[in-house]
Amino acid sequence: MTEVSRRRLLASSVAATATAATAPALGAARQPAPRPWGATPSKRQLAWHAREQYAFVHFSINTFTDREWGYGDEDPKLFDPTDFDPDQIVAAAKAGGMRGIILTAKHHDGFCLWPTMLTEHCIRNSPYKAGKGDVVGEMERATRRGGLDFGLYLSPWDRNHPEYGRPAYVDYFRKQVVELCTRYGTLFEFWFDGANGGDGYYGGARDTRKIDAPKYYNWPSIVALVHQHQPMACTFDPLGADVRWVGNEDGVAGDPCWPTMPNHPYVQSEGNSGVRAAPLWWPAETDVSIRPGWFYHADEDSKVKSPERLVKLHDESVGRGTNLNLNLPPDRRGKLADIDVAVLKSFGTAQAATFARDLARGAVASASHARGPSFAPAKVLDGAADSYWSTPDGVTTPSLVLDLPPGRTFDLIRLREYLPLGVRVTRFAVDAEVGGQWRELAQHQGIGAQRIIRLAEPVTARRLRLRILEAPACPAIREVALFRQVAPVPVAPVVESDASIVPTAGWSIAAASAPGAEALLDTDAATRWAVPAPRPGMPALVTIDLGATETLAGFSLTPSRAVMADTAPPKAYRVEISTDGKTWREAGSGELPNIAYALATQRIAFEAPVATRFLRFSFAETAIPARRLAIAGIGAFRPRIVQAR
């Protein structure tokens, strides 16, 4: 018998079996669609889910001060990109598979990237295009030229504005919202940062302003204001917004990550995994930077995430039903660095090739039960966003089988539910028939927008089976798809582009109060030195040998961004220097500002350049109460040579 005729016979047999198994349902009158179960998404939330991944672009005055959080007293004349190229940024994002861009129109320092007349702390008073530039407008037009969607970030905190913390500032902030919502076309997302209140310049007051954010901003009214002008823009992140924070800035969603949440103010522990069967459809957005920091820093050129790491991030975010918001920070030219562009291209090319061909196409689908012809098992294979397989109302734990074409080898399985009916599957398993025997490949909680299962090794299976193990209502499965991962092309490590950065390759740990301090020198922000929290009189200590005497202008310290319970970065530092490792003198001490929550690299300048071979650090306490102290990296920089332009 030929393969074709054998294949047709087998398909007919399976189809007949499926029909017999579901004869009562198929033979009855046309069945209505299942009723929605639990919370369901709005029209704009459904459109948001479909985007899956997009880019954050952090570009502002911090790019030129080498900070993560500006204080608000920066001179607008510092903002002076030499070759701002939004089309280059858009092209790189698009090559990486991003479907939109969200630009930081105003960060915590209050500097506005559009020529607003509401404040003098804006691009009008910068040298860029002699004060005639509009970075928001230029970025918006380039994004649309590239065929991507456009969104905006507007920090509610403003460390420059003199009225921050008082009613007059909220009026100012609302006017900013309206300007951005009415000047730059259709927006797909409007991003409100959760960092609010603290020390700042505040028009010269230089004090600390504490607020009760929900009461101060009246978030429901702000969200309504956005939707008044931008009905399809999803808002991020306070209670009442369309999208929530995933609870970390590492790009890692909970497993499972339910799109539903309780109707109360955000709780970080709930935000990472969501709450099953909670009343609000409040899905998670997973934000992470391609670099350790959110703004560009030359000393992070060698720390850009690899294409392989981005593939893993995709698994940990999009693969768990959240959207990935990948930050791409332009440098002082106003372009993405070459290494960032290369990584995005490698990642995007590999992912496009991986998902170009659904290896389940051509399979024959059958099921233990079906609701009727409109909800037949084959609906999981048709690629349509508005069709799905379902069962009679009383059948909540059915199974579905795909009889695969011969020789189909896969290592990725993608499942999707039909979201307008809610998240119906609580727990499921996937099996493969290999060599005539069924074996379980995976078992998980939650499908939702999508669930991507990566297998430890490729499988060549004759059949694939989805078993619904637990569900409060009959399932509505939109897709079962199979893929084979195409490996990204490796990208060569970058050579530091900033001559002031001291390479750590020749450094070593001379002494430490706990093992594992070598992680401080490996330039990998994902590794860390974690030690018991310091106690009075017993600080955490580490001594670094630079290998040769260097003239240093300062040092950098990168806190760990890993999600670790009861762990925090140091609150302050004391650093000593020595040329021989025996005679020491203090080179500096002080607090590490905002480190507990910003989790950003701290760049600490000495009062004057120092010549040293050894650096000895002392950390006396954690930034917030915790049982352990963790640091991801320590670096150093030389005096910068300023060249005339």
What percent of the chain is modeled with pLDDT above 70?
Answer: 94
Q: Which long-range contacts (CB under 8 A, 24 or more apart) does 264-269 make?
A: 264/239, 265/214, 265/238, 265/239, 266/194, 266/237, 266/238, 266/239
Taking the C-alpha atoms of residue 479 and residue 422, their distance in angstroms, rounded to an integer, is: 15
H-helix or E-strand spanning residue 90: helix 86-95
Q: Provide CB contacts within 8 A for 302, sequence distance 6+.
A: 493, 494, 495, 496, 523
User: How high is the pLDDT of residue 259?
Assistant: 98
Nearest alpha-carbon partner for 58 in 263, 227, 271, 290: 290
Mean pLDDT, rounded, for 553-579: 90
**Is the domain covering 357-483 a CATH 3.30.565.10 domain?**
no
Nearest alpha-carbon partner for 565 in 617, 537, 530: 530
Residue 570 tokens, joined: 């140091």
Mean pLDDT, rounded, for 228-249: 96
Taking the C-alpha atoms of residue 353 and residue 299, their distance in angstroms, rounded to an integer, is: 33
User: How high is the pLDDT of residue 496?
Assistant: 63
- Phi/psi of residue 250, nearest 5 degrees: -105, -5
Taking the C-alpha atoms of residue 128 and residue 631, their distance in angstroms, rounded to an integer, is: 37
Q: Of 3-12, 229-238, 624-633, which range is least confident?
A: 3-12
User: How high is the pLDDT of residue 600?
Assistant: 78
Q: Per the CATH hierarchy, to which homologous superfamily does domain 43-354 belong? A: Glycosidases (3.20.20.80)
Q: Is the pLDDT score of 27 beyond 70?
A: no
User: How high is the pLDDT of residue 21?
Assistant: 39
Q: Is the pLDDT score of 313 beyond 90?
A: yes
Q: Is the pLDDT score of 644 beyond 50?
A: no
Helix %, strand %, coil % of the chain (to 5): 25, 30, 45
Q: Provide CB contacts within 8 A for 338, sequence distance 6+.
A: 494
Mean pLDDT, rounded, for 144-155: 98
User: How high is the pLDDT of residue 381?
Assistant: 98
Q: Exposed e or buried b for every residue in 442-464, given b needs 16+ CB within 10 A? A: eebbbbbbbbbbeeeeebebbbb
Instruction: Locate the domains of the chain by residue range.
Output: 43-354, 357-483, 508-637
Q: Is the pLDDT score of 16 beyond 70?
A: no
Q: Is the pLDDT score of 12 beyond 70?
A: no
CATH number for the segment(s) 508-637: 2.60.120.260
Cα–Cα separations (whole angstroms), residue 308 to 300, 367, 630: 18, 37, 25
pTM exceeds 0.85, yes or no? yes
Q: Is the pLDDT score of 10 beyond 60?
A: no
Q: Provide CB contacts within 8 A for 206, sequence distance 6+.
A: 73, 199, 200
Q: Of 74-88, 167-181, 515-529, which range is least confident?
A: 515-529
Mean pLDDT, rounded, for 270-279: 97
Residue 50: other Cβ atoms inside 10 A: 12
Q: Which residue(s) pair with 591 in the sheet?
A: 572
Mean pLDDT, rounded, for 506-531: 94
Nearest alpha-carbon partner for 466 in 454, 479, 457: 479
User: How high is the pLDDT of residue 598?
Assistant: 67
User: How high is the pLDDT of residue 136?
Assistant: 98
Nearest alpha-carbon partner for 525 in 609, 635, 624: 635
Q: Of 165-169, 195-199, 409-413, 564-568, which range is least confident?
A: 564-568
Q: Is the pLDDT score of 641 beyond 70?
A: no
Q: Is the pLDDT score of 25 beyond 90?
A: no
User: How high is the pLDDT of residue 497?
Assistant: 63
Q: Is 159 left (phi over 0), alpha (psi -120 to 50) or beta?
A: alpha
Mean pLDDT, rounded, for 14-41: 64
User: How high is the pLDDT of residue 563?
Assistant: 62
Taking the C-alpha atoms of residue 465 and residue 467, their distance in angstroms, rounded to an integer, is: 6
The answer to whether the CB of 629 falls within 8 A of the CB of 531 is yes
User: Average pLDDT, whole number, for the chain?
Assistant: 93
pLDDT tens sequence across 332-378: 999 999 999 999 999 999 999 999 999 999 999 999 999 999 999 99
User: How high is the pLDDT of residue 198?
Assistant: 87
The sign of the CA dihedral 440, 441, 446, 448 is negative
Q: Provide CB contacts within 8 A for 481, sequence distance 6+.
A: 358, 359, 360, 413, 414, 415
Q: Is the pLDDT score of 409 beyond 50?
A: yes
Between vectors from CA 377 to CA 372 and to CA 459, what angle results, nearest 5°?
170
Q: Provide CB contacts within 8 A for 351, sequence distance 6+.
A: 97, 311, 314, 486
Residue listed under structure tokens 């927006």: 187
**pLDDT category of residue 517 using cuts at 50, 70 and 90:** very high
Q: Is the pLDDT score of 575 beyond 90?
A: yes
Between vectors from CA 369 to CA 435 and to CA 418, what angle results, nearest 5°?
95
Taking the C-alpha atoms of residue 191 and residue 105, their distance in angstroms, rounded to an integer, is: 10
Domains 357-483 and 508-637 in one fold:
yes
User: How high is the pLDDT of residue 11?
Assistant: 39
**pLDDT category of residue 596 using cuts at 50, 70 and 90:** confident
H-helix or E-strand spanning residue 268: helix 268-273
Mean pLDDT, rounded, for 277-302: 93
- Is pLDDT larger for residue 1 or for residue 206? 206
Taking the C-alpha atoms of residue 62 and residue 341, their distance in angstroms, rounded to an integer, is: 21
User: How high is the pLDDT of residue 132?
Assistant: 98
Residue 40 tokens, joined: 């369901």
